[in-house]
Structure formats: structure tokens, C-alpha cells
Structure 1
């Protein structure tokens, strides 16, 4: 393992992560399925020396995403797209998301191994167990299954996939034209797995991946998620919102990895981060306000001819009670902060007396507004109820500032060991990706935090991970793939 270095991934959201960013003049909003557009984003990230380009996925959709994240209303299939990008990029890692609940281990092992070959060792599998129960109805199932059931399946699934990746030893191929010997059958192994969820004979019908095992990623904070992460994951996408939370989460995962017999230093924890970047702090805050002004609140929806209940309901996509009406108003904010904000106007200032009655979420939102806008309760530029509502709507890990401020933030998390880097997301595209690459990455490089060039060819190289030895190497055990002679001939 090389010395600790900062890692940056880039997550592909076709229209960005801000709920109204796609409405900004000049922002992309219609190219989610355009291969040239996607390839262009990947090339920008590769030129900036990002570790990987990441495709999330979801196996169902719902009309509620119209106002929360248009990027997930309909999204391109990860494996197909990553294979295409593998031919148009040369160094950046390619992360695909696949849910063990709706895949078979043999299929997933074959897809990931093939992608690793096509990309020459740049593939990575992001494990999700899925929180959207609607997916079950797309896969001929009655139920999605509870978390325990899904994680039991995932635990068995991951170990089986690793066994399939190892079913061909690296030197199994002879390919001797003179003798006619093509493979050494003693180096091709069945897995003969008989488990609670799967019965798989093997071997895989793809040669061992160039990385041995493609890099494994996982996201989650539940107890079962942490167990899986500590045992299997190379990279973690964490949901920590503060440095203190990040330090605690990272330490917990590393402890679990050590208990599982792994070197904890080989695990990288990368929270998601949406930096809203401009040349100056003032301009970045102005940009944040401009984006928020494009958000449709419930009253805006009514003026557009629809009731809030209408955009939250579709006979095709789901039941009204799945989403709930009226999520973007002071009533919804009131439920979150523990104070009746409906007696105020959106642009009224939040008084110190009102703020003093807020619950934990309300106090957190006040701090969020201050960090993002510089506005404070009772300040010269006071926080308004609209500010709090926007902070409630634009949730997640968002940082607003100039290049030095964004770099300071990333450095603080890295140096304090709250994270090993970040999974960067853009509020809107393509301007914000360029802004991060052109303004923040050079600052991180100037500080000696981030690479100026790739050190190797594979994603494992970028992450400082060794190639795992095949479990059959020096095992002293022969597992024939079938009743074949020791050397299979053409």
C-alpha cells in the first residue's frame, strides 16, 4: 500500500444534482442518453486525473423525481455505457452499480470480468441492496424483501462472485500451437457453491479479470451495510455530513475491516460532495441563490396549473401515499424544525426568538444557510424562511465557495481522516464540472494533496491497492471443471 493520498471520484448525474439546476440557462437537460455527452464528461474527469467515473443506478422510477432529481427519472444502463466509455478513455476507472437482489452471481461475475478486460483493468462494481420496493414489480416479484433478507443474499452473492472471478488461474491458458494444448484444465476450478440463496457450479466462462478482482464499492450506514463494507469493500461512499461524523464512520469501518482480517489502510472512504464553485465566494453564493430561485415551490406548481398532489401521483408510476402531497412549503418545513413557520411570509426574516425554539434539524438548517450563503439569524443580511426552506429542499453534502474555500474544506476532511477524498457531483452541467476541474483541482495539486498524473494503468493502481492473489494459487488442490484431461487440446 502506497502512502495515503487524496482520491476523487466523479458521479454521473445527467442533469446535475440540484433539483432545479437543469432549468438554468445554458445547463444541459436533454442529453442523458447522448453517448457523446457522457463521453465528454468522462474525458474531462480523466484529464483532471480523477480516480473513477461512477454510474449509479435504480431499477424503478417515479414521477416524484420530476421535482427532486430529474437525473434519476430515466437513466442509461451502466454496463453498456461503461463498456462504451472504456473504448474512449484510457486511465480513469469505470464504476458500475448492480444490485444483488436482482442479479444472478454468474451473470454479474461475467459482466464485471468482461468490463475489466475491455477497460484493461479499470472496472469497479458498486454494491447496492436497493431501497426502492417498486423494483420488485419490474422483476416478476411480489416483494422487495426486508433489509435483513437483502443483505443475507448480498453477503452470499459477493463471496460467490469473488470465487467465480478466481475460477480461472492467471496462467490457465497455454495456447501452444505446436502441441495443440490450449488450456491447463487443472487451473480451471468449479466453485460448487451450495448456499441458502444460490446453487452455482462454475467455473466462470471468462478469464480472470486483469485486476484479479475488480474494485468493490459500497454505500450505506446501517449495521448490516457496515458489516458488508468492512468485510468486502475497497471504497465506501459514506453519508457523513460533518467532520466528526466522518471520523467516527471511517474509524468504525476500519475497525470492522481489521476484525475481518483485512488491512484497514486499504479502504478508502469517499463521501459524496456537491461543490458549488465560482471564482469568488461572493459569486458562488450568488450562483447558489440563482439556482434556488428556480426551484418550484408548491405555490409555483399551483400557478402552473397543477396541484402539488398531481405531480406527486401517477396511476402508472405509483400511489399518492408513496410520495405525499405538498413537500415544498412552510408547512413541510415546520414539521422538520419543530416550529410553526406558516404564520410567516417566505421572505420574512427569521427572528432570534423563533430560532431559539427550533429542534435539532432546525438548528442544523440555520447553520447550513450560514455556511452556504453567509446569512445569519439577526445578522446584517438576515436569514429568511425562504432560505431555510431551500436548505431543507437542497439537502445533502453541499459546499458553496471559491476555489480556496472548497480546497480548504476537502483538505480539512482529508487531513483529519474524516475521509480519504470525495465522490464529486455537479449541481448542474457542464459549467460546474469545468469550474471544479479548472479552479479547485489545480489548488489541490498546488497543495500537494492530489495527483498531477496517474501512477499506473488500473483502478487498483489509482487507489494504491495490490492485485489479489488467486485463491487457488499454491492451494495444492485440483478442482477439475469437468471430466477433461489435464491438458485440454484444440
Structure 2
């Protein structure tokens, strides 16, 4: 049995991660607003001992000429959904994406502290700065916040949120009926934060949560994103196209963490991996191609433009090359670089590149048998590229069921993954240190 075991997150995206998943006959097209669908997914993942569920989010509906062809405009607000799922699960972690660009720290701190109490210590916050420019129009702005300002705001936002989570000592609420004292004033801490972006008095009106602080996840891979993650994150979700790229990213982030006085084990790096499982390589490939055949070229290009940094590519010929684009100030710079290099390396035209990313969206992709997939996950895990993986599947629920029932047992046979939960909180699952309340 390996002493070190990999971490697994189940990345749930309504109908699945493939842009055409909603059109597949095995996929419920209305899954985004079907709680029973999500209950089933959560229970499948928990039965397989996944560390956590992971929900993406955007606070804007899809935009552009192809928006009406994409299943991205009706889905639950993720914290509301995870609060409901906390009641029908017992051990699995519950991570939600929430942007720092279009929220206030007090609201966010209060909601995640509440989820941590509801779930018995299983909450996690995926801190993002928003890469969807369309969100700006829903919050009184004519244009999206620029890249540098988004990260400046995010750094301070995180500082305020963690300060609010530390508003109370663990034993502050004595609730002594005999004496009439509800809490010990010595355990109450006012934040009194005054900064460039926020002025927040505190304290939070939620007692210290079971984990002390919910787990903080970040997904930025740009220079600004790496610095923020190395300083503040417990977990990093990243898109890496190859073993070599993943190893370089892993080493860089672990080294950066050390410059902030953090040990390597305090930062768990979990690249995304897009997985299609089949009994044979040919069957897995055929399963994947069935989704690829459903990709409308204009939808693939619309997804591509969005992921390159909110560019409208509809005026360019589908059979032409990816046009030269300026460095995005509103989207993910790391993803723009990754996809541009992919187009150049594989000599893909616009339609081909859109189709190429329709499933994995730039993440490492594995299409094969359970043993073949486990081989690659083991290779990355044991060779300085990952502490675990955020698992993306083409369609739901089938793709998650395939991974849970075929790949997880293979990892367990190799001693790479747990066969039962030994802890009750998300921090315990991930092997993260407890938070010192002082």
C-alpha cells in the first residue's frame, strides 16, 4: 500500500464537460435544474470515496450568436445546490466556484461558513477573478475589470474573507443559560479592515466553522494567478497539456509556496483530466467520437473564442487559421497561451481547434481502458506532476459512473487511492493541516 495517495475531485458540469453533451441520447438535457440528477452524481462520487465535488460557475448567461445552441444558460446557483447536497451526503467535500470580482467579502465569508457548518466541515471555495466578460453587465459595469485590478482585488478579498472566518475563537460561544452569557467577549475579534478595495468592520455573524476555515482552491496559472495561489491557496486546479508541462508547473508552485513560509504539503496541486473510459481503446474512442460528431462548428468556435479570452471569432473563416489575437485583459491569459500553442503545434484551423477542445477544453485528455487511464494517472502522480486530479467527464451521469466503477477500483488495487474515508472533513480528506485559530 502506497503511503501517499492521490486526491480526486468530481468536476460536475450539469450535462457534462463536452460542449455537445446535452445533445447525446444518454444525457438528460434539463440536468442543470434537476436536483435528483445532482443527488445521484454526489452519491456515486461519495460511494467511490472521491475527496470532493467541484462546481464551476458564471454569473452571466452564455452570449453570442451561438448561445442558443449551448447548454450553459440555466443551472443552479452552486452554493445553494451544495447546501442541498450536504443533506444527502455524509463525507464528500463540497467545493464551489465564486468570483471575487462581483461579490462582497462579507457575503461570501458568511455563506461558506454556513455551508461548512451545514456539512460538518466539508466546504471549499474555488476563488476565481471571473474570465467571462459578460458578467460585468449584470453588476453595473460597462466593461469587465482589467486583469491586474482583478488580481489586486482578489488578494485583498481573500485577506478579508479569511479574517472574517477568524472572527471567533472555537470556544467563544459558551451559551451559558445559568449565567446569561451567550458568548465570551474575549473570543470575539473585530476585523476593522480598511484597504484599497474594501472597508469591512466585522465580526462575522457565524461562529467559527468546523474546519476553522473552509478549504481555498484557486485555478489561476498566469504569473499573477500563480503568485496568489502560492500565497493563499490550499488546492490548485490547473490545466496542463502534458506530463512535462505539469511537472514544471508543480515544481514552480511548490517552490513559490516555500517563499511564503509554507511547506510543500500545504499546497495540493490537482490538474484537470478529461477522461473517456471503454472496455477497449477502440470502444473508448468510439464513445468519444459520438460526442465529437454532435459538435456544430460554430458552437466549437464560440467556445474557443470564450476560452481564448472573450473574443468574437464568428467573422473568421472556419477553415482558416487562428487569427493573431492581443493578450486578453478580460479572460484567462494562461488558457489563451495554452490554446494558441495547441493550434500552432498541431496545425489546426479554426473549426478543427474548436472541435479539438470541445471535450477537454485544453485539459489533459485520456481516452482508453481503465488500466490505460490508471497508468497515466499513476505516472503523473508518482513523477512530480500532481497530488491528485479534478476529473472531467464528457457526459453525466454516465461518464462519472464509468470512472467511479471502472477506474477507481483499478487505482485502489494499485494502492493509489483510498477504499474508505478515514476522516470527516475536507481538510482531513486532502491531508491539509488544521488552521491555527490564533
TM range (shorter): 0.7 to 0.9
Please give the secondary structure, in 1, of the residue aligned with 2:174: coil
Provide the residue aligned with 2:185 in structure 1.
185
Provide the residue aligned with 2:404 in structure 1.
437
1:449 maps onto 2:416 in alignment: yes
Q: Which residue of 374, 378, 391 corresponds with 1:424?
A: 391
Contact 1:328 1:393 in 2 (8 A): no
Provide the residue aligned with 1:282 in structure 2.
282
CA distance in 2, matches of 1:216, 1:189: 22
Deviates more, 1:64-73 or 1:180-189: 64-73
CA 1:392 to 1:177, structure 2 compared with 1: closer, same or farther past 3 Å? closer
Please give the secondary structure, in 2, of the residue aligned with 1:126: strand
CA distance in 2, matches of 1:392, 1:153: 31
Provide the residue aligned with 1:144 in structure 2.
144
CA distance in 2, matches of 1:440, 1:461: 23
1:130 maps onto 2:130 in alignment: yes
Provide the residue aligned with 2:118 in structure 1.
118
Pairwise mapping of residues 348-367 of structure 1 onto structure 2 (< 5 A)?
361=342, 364-365=345-346
1:400 maps onto 2:400 in alignment: no
TM-score (norm 1): 0.79
Provide the residue aligned with 1:331 in structure 2.
320
CA 1:70 to 1:422, structure 2 compared with 1: closer, same or farther past 3 Å? farther
CA distance in 2, matches of 1:57, 1:464: 26
TM-score (norm 2): 0.88
Please give the secondary structure, in 1, of the residue aligned with 2:33: coil
Provide the residue aligned with 1:38 in structure 2.
38
Provide the residue aligned with 1:484 in structure 2.
none
Contact 1:113 1:165 in 2 (8 A): yes
| Residues 143-165 of structure 1 deviation map (CA, whole Å, 9 limit, x = unaligned) | 32211111111111111111111
Instruction: Count residues with an aligned counterpart.
Output: 414
Contact 2:216 2:235 in 1 (8 A): yes
Q: How far apart are 1:177 and its partner, in Å?
A: 2.2
Contact 1:19 1:68 in 2 (8 A): no
Q: How far apart are 1:413 and its partner, in Å?
A: 0.7
CA 1:47 to 1:70, structure 2 compared with 1: closer, same or farther past 3 Å? farther
| Residues 410-464 of structure 1 deviation map (CA, whole Å, 9 limit, x = unaligned) | 1111011111111011101221111111110000000000110111000001001
Contact 1:273 1:425 in 2 (8 A): yes
Provide the residue aligned with 1:73 in structure 2.
73
CA distance in 2, matches of 1:65, 1:80: 30
1:414 maps onto 2:381 in alignment: yes
Deviates more, 1:267-276 or 1:324-333: 324-333
1:391 maps onto 2:356 in alignment: yes
Between Structure 1 and Structure 2, whose CA radius of gyration is higher? 1
CA distance in 2, matches of 1:65, 1:16: 22
| Residues 222-248 of structure 1 deviation map (CA, whole Å, 9 limit, x = unaligned) | 111111100110110111111111111
Provide the residue aligned with 1:155 in structure 2.
155
| Residues 458-482 of structure 1 deviation map (CA, whole Å, 9 limit, x = unaligned) | 00010011221112xxxxxxxxxxx
CA 1:364 to 1:455, structure 2 compared with 1: closer, same or farther past 3 Å? farther
CA distance in 2, matches of 1:392, 1:452: 33
Provide the residue aligned with 2:206 in structure 1.
206
Pairwise mapping of residues 290-369 of structure 1 onto structure 2 (< 5 A)?
290-297=290-297, 322-325=311-314, 329-332=318-321, 361=342, 364-365=345-346
Contact 1:276 1:399 in 2 (8 A): yes
Contact 1:237 1:269 in 2 (8 A): yes
Q: How far apart are 1:79 and its partner, in Å?
A: 1.0
CA 1:43 to 1:70, structure 2 compared with 1: closer, same or farther past 3 Å? farther
CA distance in 2, matches of 1:428, 1:326: 30
Provide the residue aligned with 2:426 in structure 1.
459
Provide the residue aligned with 2:255 in structure 1.
255
CA distance in 1, matches of 2:355, 2:342: 14
1:164 maps onto 2:164 in alignment: yes
Please give the root-mean-square deviation of Cα atoms over the aligned residues, in Å.
2.7
Provide the residue aligned with 1:378 in structure 2.
none
Q: How far apart are 1:262 and its partner, in Å?
A: 1.1
| Residues 15-45 of structure 1 deviation map (CA, whole Å, 9 limit, x = unaligned) | 1111222222222221211111111111111
Unaligned runs of at least 5 residues, structure 2? 304-309, 325-339
Q: Which runs of 4+ in 1 moved over 6 A?
A: 384-389
CA distance in 2, matches of 1:199, 1:219: 26
| Residues 60-91 of structure 1 deviation map (CA, whole Å, 9 limit, x = unaligned) | 22244957993433321011111000111010
Please give the secondary structure, in 1, of the residue aligned with 2:97: strand
Pairwise mapping of residues 89-128 of structure 1 onto structure 2 (< 5 A)?
89-128=89-128
CA distance in 1, matches of 2:204, 2:397: 40
Provide the residue aligned with 1:356 in structure 2.
none
CA distance in 1, matches of 2:71, 2:263: 37
Q: How far apart are 1:385 and its partner, in Å?
A: 12
Please give the secondary structure, in 1, of the residue aligned with 2:407: helix
Please give the secondary structure, in 1, of the residue aligned with 2:31: coil
Q: How far apart are 1:363 and its partner, in Å?
A: 6.8
Contact 1:330 1:389 in 2 (8 A): no
